[in-house]
Structure 1
């Protein structure tokens, strides 16, 4: 047994330790969504209570032993939620969802997956403003801010958290809400793993039974019309904040070509809402839109696992010229990746989502967060650039090409007045991207102050590996 595992066992956590010699060890590593994140910890710890998390943090901090925290394990890059040679604290056993008697709030464990959260809440015709991909873990999405289907009405996912239960670096378990530890409460709304381990989230629920939602696919010849429709839709979110879309041009292995895909979700359950009228004029190759539920969608729409993944992000002014440039350069990227993966077994995604100033308005109305999106002067678009490859060798070759693509789009956007917006979405960011700096000086100062107050010995800055560390931000 590794010395650090022996230390945890000596402090009563033996039944929760999974060692490399245990069959469950390989299962826990294999359960990571991205092959890029499948590292080899000295052991995996599976705590079943906040108290066990607190014991582990105290023991590891006292021994200056490095550790990582895993919720769902969906962040794609190595070291984001796992560790080589240290302890990975896997929160998957803290996965319960319980709705309050008045149905107005739900308490959710950090290791729950959104598909399971929605399945439980669907029994009461309720949802929360959570993740849109069913296999994503609760804690990572919420602590990074969280884009949702409900942002136009209720703000980001983090804006819908009303209380956190947090294990601090000294092992204390505290509650943070608008009245108690209110500075920590605000910092956790987008501040990631800089302050402690959240062992319970309490979220506002939303009454929602049926939604009108699904995917449409279009041939690549429709890209110019689809870009016009995307930008027009983003311009009009304020008129219908219940209608959502995620738009992409994507290379899919099954087609061995680029296609256009759009995910629609009308969360008020309005069939064929006027917000989508312009899209209906574009010839489709496939359409799966139907009356469904958020719960059913979370089980149906999931990104394929078992690939090596590269993600970069940016935020741009809503301007069709920028989208066109990104799409044009995406075509070039797909050709280059075809040379790296000649069997065609690779995915690319050039994704755009509306990012109107309305989203920031709803966040402020809900009490605010630390992401600083209210600084945006224009309605925007959130950009996500991804590539999924079969092996690490292909990933290493593809990485600089994806980065070059994103940098080129950002350079082009800089030629347009207000083309680049400040925010770098933490949950989509590559580790080279300074996500926390993008929150603005005031929010950086707040996070630094909160980290120093609640973790004066910098356990979560130095021993807790992975994520974006506030002490690394110069402001």
Structure 2
């Protein structure tokens, strides 16, 4: 019910704007084509709108939803858009909560769900995967071959946006970012032409698709490296929050990153605060590529004493799809990220506490926001991940292995879109405050100075993704953009992190 009420509130807010319309010239122009069109407020249209992670995205009402099944049909849509000047959006899974990134008001929404193939080629050890898949479907299809690809940690996440945003995986310390495993991509360019990007064809385009977002074209199909995978071990441990437990967990994260025990091991450490009840808990997700982790791998955490422990030997599909239950639709979500170099053991608690306490204070400062839940995820980015990334082809993020890092993901969920303005300001204050703390620690020598880019998949629309990349990578991406989209079609006509 919450999702439907939030959706209807969004409709009321949008319709109160005299500039809002659900009429679409593109939809009308394509009405006689063979492309599947979900008409405004039809049953299929409503179902697709309800599938966004954030109901704020679902409340933006496209004039219609176009569901192409071939690259030729995507090309027809792009050429039609070129002729009429309408804004549009492209959606894979709709997990990104930034409005207008995969959602649009008035213009057409291109939903890639028709691109749902998963084809494994044992001779090349690659998998051809449609951009409209969700990762749970991909993992399930490949499991019978005892292989998998580097993909989402929650199966509900869509393939398309995740891959062009970089993609952090439970397998990243073995194989790098998910985008580093792209072998080939089928891309529809701004002029409607269909091209292949690979290490031998349109190499510059291939390079910028790895972390470049939606600036260069619509990717319809990816070919990814596949890796052997059998039974895995994993699950969730739940811990209470207290001053003592918080300190132990923060230090355990720090130590895990520096003394990374095994490249087959992975964790996501999350602190969740439900503001109305002031309940604070830790949920830690554990993964090991193998039926049982070697003794001692996760002892720094298990020795703290979890209240709940669901970790067990299982299949990768069951593990990834189990986390789908954590994706709760019907709320408004906002996301942001930051990065820090890893503090040494001497100052570790001081630094980690500073970040943690600021996040807690920011959450509690918004106690009047209805239904607010605040989550902080600590994501280890050890040196070995950067090494594997470079060894597997590299990407625009271009991490070096000079230091260990932690990437933060902060999420807010709340009940009503009417709290958007306040929470937008809160998100900006949060990422600005974390950044200021990181820079202050660097300035006084408490933590090492190093390159700290933003992770696109977790970034808020108010953050400067491109400005945080290495200057040479930014310049290269701009040059490639100007070559493949000289008129700025994707820059000007759809949302995302724009060059």
- Is TM more than 0.5 here? yes
Does residue 1:436 correspond to 2:466, yes or no?
yes
| Aligned position for 1:70 | 91
Does residue 1:207 correspond to 2:228, yes or no?
yes
| Aligned position for 2:333 | 309
Does residue 1:19 correspond to 2:49, yes or no?
no
TM-score normalized with structure 2 length:
0.89
Give how far 1:70 is off.
0.6
In 1, Cα distance between equivalents of 2:228 and 2:449: 37
In 1, Cα distance between equivalents of 2:188 and 2:38: 22
- Cα distance change on mapping 1:432 and 1:2 into 2, 3 Å: closer
In 2, Cα distance between equivalents of 1:404 and 1:316: 17
| Aligned position for 2:70 | 49
In 1, Cα distance between equivalents of 2:26 and 2:72: 19
* CA deviation profile, 1:78-116 (whole Å, cap 9, x unmatched): 111111111111101111111114371100000000000
Within a 5 Å distance, the mapping from 1:111-130 to structure 2 comes to 111-130=132-151
Give how far 1:244 is off.
0.5
In 1, Cα distance between equivalents of 2:82 and 2:228: 42
Is the 8 Å Cα contact of residues 26 and 80 (structure 2) preserved in structure 1?
A: no
Give how far 1:360 is off.
1.6
Give how far 1:293 is off.
1.9
| Aligned position for 1:346 | 372
Equivalent in 250, 259, 266 of residue 227 of structure 1: 250
Is the 8 Å Cα contact of residues 234 and 354 (structure 1) preserved in structure 2?
A: yes
Does residue 1:468 correspond to 2:468, yes or no?
no
In 2, Cα distance between equivalents of 1:340 and 1:254: 9
Equivalent in 383, 390, 393 of residue 415 of structure 2: 390
Give how far 1:337 is off.
3.1
* CA deviation profile, 1:48-97 (whole Å, cap 9, x unmatched): 11110011111111222221111111100111111111111110111111
- Cα distance change on mapping 1:326 and 1:395 into 2, 3 Å: farther
* CA deviation profile, 1:351-407 (whole Å, cap 9, x unmatched): 111112221211111121111222x64211001111100111234333323332332
| Aligned position for 2:357 | 328
| Aligned position for 2:280 | 258
TM-score normalized with structure 1 length:
0.93
In 2, Cα distance between equivalents of 1:367 and 1:141: 18
- Cα distance change on mapping 1:108 and 1:330 into 2, 3 Å: same
SS at match of 1:98: strand
Is the 8 Å Cα contact of residues 389 and 395 (structure 1) preserved in structure 2?
A: no
| Structure 2: runs of 5+ lacking an equivalent | 1-22, 443-447
Is the 8 Å Cα contact of residues 316 and 421 (structure 1) preserved in structure 2?
A: no
* CA deviation profile, 1:134-173 (whole Å, cap 9, x unmatched): 1110011100000011111111000011000111112111
Equivalent in 291, 297, 312 of residue 275 of structure 1: 297
SS at match of 1:274: coil
The RMSD of aligned alpha carbons is: 1.8
| Structure 1: runs of 5+ lacking an equivalent | 471-475
* CA deviation profile, 1:174-199 (whole Å, cap 9, x unmatched): 11110111111111000011111111
Is the 8 Å Cα contact of residues 162 and 178 (structure 1) preserved in structure 2?
A: yes
In 2, Cα distance between equivalents of 1:310 and 1:90: 22
Is the 8 Å Cα contact of residues 338 and 434 (structure 2) preserved in structure 1?
A: no
| Aligned position for 1:87 | 108
Equivalent in 439, 443, 458 of residue 488 of structure 2: 458
SS at match of 1:275: coil
Give how far 1:37 is off.
1.0
The size of the alignment, in residue pairs, is 462
- Cα distance change on mapping 1:395 and 1:293 into 2, 3 Å: farther
In 2, Cα distance between equivalents of 1:456 and 1:264: 45
Is the 8 Å Cα contact of residues 40 and 64 (structure 2) preserved in structure 1?
A: yes
Give how far 1:312 is off.
1.1
Give how far 1:6 is off.
1.4
Is the 8 Å Cα contact of residues 413 and 420 (structure 1) preserved in structure 2?
A: no
- Cα distance change on mapping 1:86 and 1:182 into 2, 3 Å: same
| Aligned position for 1:133 | 154
In 2, Cα distance between equivalents of 1:136 and 1:273: 32
| Aligned position for 1:473 | none
In 1, Cα distance between equivalents of 2:43 and 2:376: 39
In 1, Cα distance between equivalents of 2:91 and 2:85: 19
Is the 8 Å Cα contact of residues 276 and 372 (structure 2) preserved in structure 1?
A: no
Is the 8 Å Cα contact of residues 369 and 414 (structure 2) preserved in structure 1?
A: no
